[in-house]
A and B are shown apart, each in its own frame.
Chain A
Amino acid sequence: MSAETTISADVRNESAKRKKKIMAAIQWVLAIIVLIVIVFPIYWMLVSSVKSQEEILLATPTLWPKEFHFENYVNVLNRGNFAKYYWNTTVMTAGILIAQVVTGIFAGYGFSKGKFKGQGLCFIIVLGALMIPLQVTFIPIYIMMANWGMSDTFLGLILPEAVSPYYIFMLRQTFMSIDDSYIEAARMDGLGRVGIITRILAPMCKSTLFTVTLVTFTNGWNAYFWPKIIAKGESRRVLTVGLAYLKNTFAGGESMNNHEIMAGAVLAVVPVIILFFIFQKYMLTGYSKAAMK
């Protein structure tokens, strides 16, 4: 009797093991199919960017380039001032990053560790701003900035993005988790507010700080809506907008020149993708961190 139950248990175990193996195999197969579909656009961008014009127009597309034409990259840099767009994007991103980090850290401190009358109300003003996107307010801001002579300037590109309610909110939540006793101890040692922020809070919240800053960088680098409105001219056009205009510079021959457009697309994403692979650990949680709060 007892022998029989052990046997049936063994059989059950065996079949459970086999089931698990089949499950794993199915997962592997599905995962690889999904992977191919998701990676394909990136692969196609890279491959197309080094093909010749004749090759991209072939009726039967080639999965691997016959010859490598790296001069496409040089051509696209010379066409439509792409190098200048690169510079503009870099300056704009740096400006936004510095402004958001500085204002965000101080405001985050004020809302978490500071104490003053009306603190709650002030924080509601910040949270309320989350509900008013630039897509709603861009008309008055555009008129205002044009009147100030800021269209086609770096200041015009940076200023409306200088403060991020999201960044402030995230930092406030993180700073709240630091125990007040650290702050008190630092105060006893004679540290001022700037000292407390730079020597205590920032180092203790390093990983969150870094993560949200990476998101800020990415959003700045990839920004499109506002730069398109405020920097319509050539002089301060940024990469994302320049890329969208690039297809127009070929005047009707757009599909004839997709090899060069793809080279431009690669150039535009390279910095962020490099960051992504270096700081994967942070960037994977970057956009989902808010979910935990």
Chain B
Amino acid sequence: MNEKKINPRKISAVKDFTCVLPVLIFLAVFTYYPIVELLRISFTDWNLLNDTWQYVGFKNWNWLFAGSGNKYLWNSLKVTVLYSIGELSITLIGGMIFALIFNRMTNSFAAMRAVIFMPKYVAMSSAAVVFLWILNTDSGIFNYLLSLIGVSPVDWLGDRNMALISVLMLTGWRCIGYGMMVYLSAMMGIATDYYEAAALDGANAVQRFFKITLPMLSPTTLFLFVTTFLSSMKVFQSVDILTQGGPYRSTEVFVYNIYRYAMVDFRMDRASTVGIFFFVLLLIVTVATMKVSNGNVTYDS
């Protein structure tokens, strides 16, 4: 008879909680605990080549902000920001231009849109080796096409001024269709009344774009901006395959910098220190973009 005293609602709550429990345990072990561990390692001298380690206080932090690590920290920060600006411009501006070009509701345009979007699904590693081949200095087709208009061969991946541009070409190829699709689906949501009213007032196409389309799309632009910015800060794969961070660290983005310390130099201590710095940076950017997104946006009421 004791069983009846247990509240059935309580049993139900326990069962509901059981549904989410595995996820919570998983996140504790594989997401939250590693952050604490990362912080702890940053105060040690852990090096995978040695068997023992000890706490060394702020030695790694000193190395990062005042020692030899500082130069590379700012370099990777600079490269990452440049890369982010590039990816953002391509996704937002390029995506918008593509959306205007492909904004026709016929079957042939729908088919073309699907093809433009396809690169997003091509594995980055396949795309990267294809671009390595296209951009090859001696027998790549890109340099050949340029030679037809009289441009001498460019060392796309070996020239420190060109390497980041080459990485961005690959990124742009994969992302521009995504920007287009997001903008197009938002454009379809804009009520035609606005355009009819504007046409009656005698607004031309350019005015209509800047006075109606662009402001109405600002929530979409913001969404694209935030998600693209955050993902661009985590770029790794394209850099790893195309340039390995080179030449002369000119494409060494943040994640690559951490990866190099950890998996090439085996300096877990230094890698963790940079990792924590990167984590804080991501947090700041996330919070800042969320703050911005609460103001400054036009919504269709």
Complex-state Cα separation, A132 to B32, whole angstroms = 8
Q: Is A154 an interface residue (CB 8 A)?
A: no
Complex-state Cα separation, A57 to B144, whole angstroms = 12
Q: Is A190 an interface residue (CB 8 A)?
A: no
Complex-state Cα separation, A280 to B107, whole angstroms = 14
- Given the complex, which residues of A lie within 8 Å of B20, measured CB to CB? 106-107, 110-111, 114, 122
Q: Is A176 an interface residue (CB 8 A)?
A: no
Interface 0/1 of A167-208, CB less than 8 Å to B: 010000000000000000000000001000000000000000
The answer, among A31, A116, A292, for a CB contact under 8 Å with B14, is A116
Complex-state Cα separation, A241 to B240, whole angstroms = 10
Interface 0/1 of A74-112, CB less than 8 Å to B: 000000000000000000000000000001001101110
Residue of A nearest to B261 (CB): A139
Contact A224 B237, beta carbon cutoff 8 Å: yes
Contact A291 B123, beta carbon cutoff 8 Å: no
Given A129-B31, A288-B185, check contact A139 B23 (CB 8 Å).
no
Contact B130 A265, beta carbon cutoff 8 Å: yes
Contact A126 B23, beta carbon cutoff 8 Å: yes
Contact B31 A132, beta carbon cutoff 8 Å: yes
CB within 8 Å of A: which B144-192 residues: 144, 173, 176-178, 181-182, 185-186
Contact B123 A268, beta carbon cutoff 8 Å: yes
Complex-state Cα separation, A111 to B24, whole angstroms = 12
Complex-state Cα separation, A110 to B258, whole angstroms = 37
Given A115-B16, A116-B17, check contact A48 B133 (CB 8 Å).
yes
Contact B123 A272, beta carbon cutoff 8 Å: yes
Complex-state Cα separation, A240 to B124, whole angstroms = 8
Contact B275 A139, beta carbon cutoff 8 Å: yes
A14 to chain B, nearest CB (A): 17
The answer, among B14, B115, B127, B279, for a CB contact under 8 Å with A136, is B279
The answer, among A24, A35, A136, A228, for a CB contact under 8 Å with B38, is A136
Complex-state Cα separation, A48 to B185, whole angstroms = 35
- Given the complex, which residues of B lie within 8 Å of A268, measured CB to CB? 123, 125-126
* Secondary structure of the A contact surface, majority rule: helix
Q: Is A210 an interface residue (CB 8 A)?
A: no
Residue of A nearest to B272 (CB): A139
Contact B241 A141, beta carbon cutoff 8 Å: no
- Given the complex, which residues of A lie within 8 Å of B123, measured CB to CB? 221-222, 224, 239-240, 268-269, 272
Contact A41 B130, beta carbon cutoff 8 Å: yes
Contact B125 A224, beta carbon cutoff 8 Å: yes
Complex-state Cα separation, A269 to B286, whole angstroms = 33
B139 to chain A, nearest CB (A): 6
CB within 8 Å of A: which B44-61 residues: none
Contact A244 B181, beta carbon cutoff 8 Å: no
Q: Is B104 an interface residue (CB 8 A)?
A: yes
CB within 8 Å of B: which A153-174 residues: 159-160, 162-163, 165, 168
Residue of B nearest to A272 (CB): B121
CB within 8 Å of B: which A234-293 residues: 239-241, 243-244, 246-247, 255, 258, 261-262, 264-266, 268-269, 272-273, 275-276, 280, 283-285, 287-288, 290-292
Q: Is A66 an interface residue (CB 8 A)?
A: no
Given A107-B20, A136-B35, A139-B262, check contact A276 B121 (CB 8 Å).
yes
Contact A39 B129, beta carbon cutoff 8 Å: no
> How many of A's residues come within 8 Å of B, CB to CB?
89
Contact B282 A131, beta carbon cutoff 8 Å: yes
CB within 8 Å of A: which B1-25 residues: 12-20, 22-24
Given A272-B121, A283-B121, check contact A243 B126 (CB 8 Å).
yes
Complex-state Cα separation, A273 to B117, whole angstroms = 11
B15 to chain A, nearest CB (A): 6
Q: Is B209 an interface residue (CB 8 A)?
A: no
Contact A255 B138, beta carbon cutoff 8 Å: yes
- Given the complex, which residues of A lie within 8 Å of B223, measured CB to CB? 291
Contact B27 A126, beta carbon cutoff 8 Å: yes
Interface residues, chain B, CB within 8 Å of chain A? 12-20, 22-24, 26-27, 30-35, 37-38, 41, 98, 101-104, 109, 112-134, 136, 138-139, 141, 144, 173, 176-178, 181-182, 185-186, 220, 223-224, 227, 234, 236-237, 240-241, 255, 258, 262-263, 268, 271-272, 275, 278-279, 282-283, 286
Interface residues, chain A, CB within 8 Å of chain B? 24, 27, 30-31, 34-35, 38-39, 41-42, 44-45, 48, 56-61, 103, 106-107, 109-111, 114-117, 122, 125-126, 129, 131-133, 135-144, 159-160, 162-163, 165, 168, 193, 218, 221-222, 224-225, 228-229, 239-241, 243-244, 246-247, 255, 258, 261-262, 264-266, 268-269, 272-273, 275-276, 280, 283-285, 287-288, 290-292
Given contacts A41-B130, A139-B41, A262-B133, 16 further A-B contacts (CB under 8 A): A38-B173, A44-B141, A103-B23, A106-B23, A107-B23, A122-B20, A135-B234, A135-B278, A139-B262, A225-B237, A225-B255, A228-B240, A244-B128, A269-B126, A287-B178, A288-B185
Could you name 8 residue pairs across A and B whose Cβ atoms are closer than 8 Å?
A: A42-B122, A126-B27, A141-B30, A268-B126, A272-B122, A273-B121, A284-B113, A288-B185
